[in-house]
Amino acid sequence: MEPALNTILIVLLVTTAILATLSRDLLAGVIIFSVYGLIMSLMWLRLQAPDLALAEAAMGAGVTTVFFLVTVFKTRGRDQS
């Protein structure tokens, strides 16, 4: 069961990385990047590094996502002028 779960997480990690990079919509890219951070924190947990998993969950999926979302919504109105 463990190798299968590791393989699934790696495939999801690579897929979200590619989707976040190729996304044309900024909001979709930010959301996919947030999912990437959550999957990465699960990978750190699987590697028995709970301190890194917690840091990745807090920064990668939490704080960074909020900063990106604020930036996207503050700059969205400037695209039309």
* Per-residue pLDDT band at 79 (split at 50, 70, 90): low
Q: Any idea what the Cα angle at residue 64 is, between residues 36 and 49, rounded to 5°?
A: 55
d(CA 43, CA 14): 12
* Segment 28-48 mean pLDDT: 93
Confidence of residue 75 (pLDDT cuts 50, 70, 90): confident
Q: Where are the domains of the chain?
A: 22-74
**Structure pTM?**
0.84
